[in-house]
């Protein structure tokens, strides 16, 4: 019996998956191990792998096989795999080679200009390159919109958040935007009335920080036979599901940030590791999208590890790791440190309460730019106006304004909303999990994370990309995305 169209596609996509895994490992090496002089040859390796992958997926027979496989009599998972194959194929074939190459050149040039512009606080230096990128992004959005049958912005969003649509996000974000300013005032009032947290005095040796991170990672379920913890300038979770590589950056004067960063990346890592091994290398076996991914890191970091329950378990381990004694090392004080809220101009430094304001601002601005209603030249003014409205603060310069994030300069448009969708999803999943299994919260308090991990494995990780994001959330929590759960979490943590 000859191979079916579907079988032939799985071979093609297995090859694509192996090449993408190779790229992931080379990216990890670039960020953690590579000497500076290796950058040009590494860029060649990565560009070649990407081109080879693109050549395989856009080969003429793939489209025919996708059509033929529809009549192959597939089961649920296979059908979902075929759907995800087609999604990848549509995204890959929607843009002509000229546009792909122009975009690659434009974003490289723009990223370089951005680095200097940010260092010099000189938005004008990056502006022409940003305008060029936006022109190409709008072309790409229009081309993909045509093929996908969605609005141009949604075509961009769909790359990061399959099935994500601005029309679904708008009301949720609008609701949050109405809720946050007043809520933030109340949180800051309450915080001002409470005793200030006691500071932890270092130095905190890096070896001890690393050992504590490893200890907590292992408790949470990170398997070092299938992963590593290393150092990089910008922390990330990379590698492959069978070899997950997370990174952090240590500060000898403050261990709290690096430690929470490690736990955040551990959340990403547990998701990757929990993807179903039977579907390795196939599109349906991949993570569902960026908002589910971010939900897994934020569930571990925000819902679990910054909670009083977790800190009751972890406080003695932290004290032990650094020889800390006294009231500053008690769980109550660590909780106050880890739930501090303030109005900050920088997204990556923002706490859980103010973070959505940063995201909503960027979501609004990028949609307006993609629609052609805001020119990059007017971005600094629009940014200041939005920050004033959403957070009540105004950046004194562009470095702490519209130059702070790499995303737009690097061509990642439609990515920002996934951060806050992820935070809301995390709250909703954790709420469902602890209602379903009453052993989860006591487990967290005693350092037994197996009940939590079991629930996540079954309801999120093992599902991979079989369901849409919306269906995954509904199956796991019994309802669609609901901002009320996130708001209730914030109220419970920051006002009670």
State how far the Cα of 275 lies from the Cα of 294, in Å rounded to an integer.
15
- Are the C-beta atoms of residues 238 and 245 closer than 8 Å to each other? yes
- Are the C-beta atoms of residues 328 and 199 closer than 8 Å to each other? yes
- Interacting residues with its own copies (CB under 8 A): 14-15, 18-19, 21-22, 25-26, 29, 33-38, 40-42, 44-45, 47-49, 51-52, 223-228, 239-243, 280-281
To the nearest whole angstrom, how small is the minimum distance from the Cβ of residue 40 to its own copies? Answer: 7
* Residue 478 Rama label (left phi>0; alpha psi -120 to 50; beta): left
To the nearest whole angstrom, how small is the minimum distance from the Cβ of residue 400 to its own copies? Answer: 33
To the nearest whole angstrom, how small is the minimum distance from the Cβ of residue 22 to its own copies? Answer: 4
State how far the Cα of 406 lies from the Cα of 193, in Å rounded to an integer.
37
Strand (E) or helix (H) holding 231: strand 227-231
- Are the C-beta atoms of residues 72 and 5 closer than 8 Å to each other? yes
To the nearest whole angstrom, how small is the minimum distance from the Cβ of residue 301 to its own copies? Answer: 23
Strands 243-248 and 227-231: parallel
HSE-CB at 290 with a 13 A cutoff on CA atoms is: 16
State how far the Cα of 125 lies from the Cα of 137, in Å rounded to an integer.
20
Q: Which of 265, 272, 294, 301 is catalytic?
A: 265
Strand partners, 228: 245
Structure tokens at 227: 């992963």
**Is 64 buried (19+), middle (13-18) or exposed (0-12) by CB count in 10 A?**
exposed
CB nearer to its own copies: give 44 or 201: 44
To the nearest whole angstrom, how small is the minimum distance from the Cβ of residue 273 to its own copies? Answer: 9
CB nearer to its own copies: give 59 or 124: 59
To the nearest whole angstrom, how small is the minimum distance from the Cβ of residue 242 to its own copies? Answer: 4
To the nearest whole angstrom, how small is the minimum distance from the Cβ of residue 18 to its own copies? Answer: 4
Structure tokens at 223: 């398997």
CB nearer to its own copies: give 278 or 488: 278
Residue 475 designated active-site: no
CB nearer to its own copies: give 22 or 491: 22
To the nearest whole angstrom, how small is the minimum distance from the Cβ of residue 226 to its own copies? Answer: 4
Q: Would you call the peptide bond into 211 cis, given omega within 30 degrees of 0 as the criterion?
A: no
Residues 314-346 as b/e (b if ≥16 CB within 10 A, e otherwise) read bbeebbebbebeeeebbbebbbbbbbebeebbe
CB nearer to its own copies: give 161 or 286: 286
**Is 163 buried (19+), middle (13-18) or exposed (0-12) by CB count in 10 A?**
middle
To the nearest whole angstrom, how small is the minimum distance from the Cβ of residue 10 to its own copies? Answer: 13
State how far the Cα of 30 lies from the Cα of 33, in Å rounded to an integer.
6
To the nearest whole angstrom, how small is the minimum distance from the Cβ of residue 243 to its own copies? Answer: 3
CB nearer to its own copies: give 247 or 400: 247
State how far the Cα of 374 lies from the Cα of 380, in Å rounded to an integer.
11
- Are the C-beta atoms of residues 164 and 291 closer than 8 Å to each other? yes
CB nearer to its own copies: give 38 or 181: 38
- Are the C-beta atoms of residues 135 and 369 closer than 8 Å to each other? no
CB nearer to its own copies: give 97 or 201: 97
State how far the Cα of 190 lies from the Cα of 225, in Å rounded to an integer.
45
143-152 long-range CB contacts below 8 Å, 24 or more apart? 143/94, 143/95, 143/96, 143/99, 144/90, 144/91, 144/94, 144/95, 146/94, 147/90, 147/93, 147/94, 148/90, 148/94, 152/370, 152/371
CB nearer to its own copies: give 160 or 222: 222
Give catalytic residues, as residue numbers: 265
């Amino acid at each position: 019996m000859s191979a079916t169209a579907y079988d032939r596609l799985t071979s093609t996509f297995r090859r694509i998956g192996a090449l993408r895994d190779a790229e992931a490992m080379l990216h990890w090496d670039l960020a953690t191990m590579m000497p500076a002089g290796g950058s040009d040859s590494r860029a060649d390796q990565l560009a070649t792998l990407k081109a080879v992958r693109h050549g395989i997926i856009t080969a003429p027979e793939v489209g025919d096989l996708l059509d033929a496989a529809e009549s192959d009599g597939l089961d649920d998972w296979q059908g979902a795999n075929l759907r995800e194959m087609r999604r990848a194929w549509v995204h890959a074939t929607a843009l002509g080679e000229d546009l792909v190459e122009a975009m690659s050149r434009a974003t490289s040039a723009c990223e370089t200009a951005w680095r200097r512009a940010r260092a010099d606080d000189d938005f004008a230096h990056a502006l022409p390159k940003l305008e060029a990128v936006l022109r190409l992004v709008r072309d790409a959005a229009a081309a993909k919109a045509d093929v996908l049958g969605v609005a141009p912005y949604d075509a961009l969003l769909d790359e990061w958040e399959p099935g994500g649509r601005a029309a679904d996000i708008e009301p949720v974000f609008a609701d949050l935007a109405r809720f946050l300013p007043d809520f933030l005032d109340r949180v800051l009032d309450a915080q001002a009335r409470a005793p200030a947290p006691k500071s932890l005095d270092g130095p905190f040796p890096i070896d001890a920080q690393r050992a504590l991170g490893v200890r907590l990672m292992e408790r949470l379920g990170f398997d070092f036979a299938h992963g590593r913890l290393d150092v990089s300038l910008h922390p990330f979770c990379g590698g492959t599901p069978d070899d997950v590589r997370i990174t952090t950056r240590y500060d000898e004067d403050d261990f709290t940030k690096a430690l929470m960063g490690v736990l955040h990346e551990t959340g990403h890592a547990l998701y990757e590791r929990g993807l179903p091994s039977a579907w390795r290398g196939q599109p349906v076996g991949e993570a569902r999208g960026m908002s589910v991914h971010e939900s897994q890191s934020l569930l571990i970091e925000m819902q679990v590890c910054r909670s009083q329950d977790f800190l009751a378990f972890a406080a003695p381990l932290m004290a032990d790791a650094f020889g800390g004694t006294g009231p500053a090392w008690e769980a109550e004080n660590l909780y106050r440190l880890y739930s501090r809220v303030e109005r900050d101009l920088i997204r990556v430094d923002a706490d859980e309460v103010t973070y959505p304001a940063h995201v909503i601002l960027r979501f609004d601005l990028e949609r307006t730019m993609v629609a052609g209603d805001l020119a990059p030249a007017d971005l600094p003014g629009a940014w200041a106006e939005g920050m004033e409205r959403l957070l009540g603060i105004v950046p004194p310069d562009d470095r702490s304004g519209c130059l702070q994030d790499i995303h737009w300069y690097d061509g990642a448009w439609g990515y920002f909303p996934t951060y806050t969708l992820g935070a809301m999803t995390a709250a909703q999943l954790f709420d469902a999990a602890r209602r379903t299994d009453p052993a989860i919260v006591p487990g967290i308090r005693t350092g037994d994370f197996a009940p939590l991990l079991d629930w996540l494995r079954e309801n999120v990780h093992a599902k991979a990309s079989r369901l849409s994001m919306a269906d995954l959330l509904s199956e796991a929590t019994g309802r669609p995305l609901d901002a009320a759960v996130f708001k209730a979490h914030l109220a419970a943590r920051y006002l009670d």
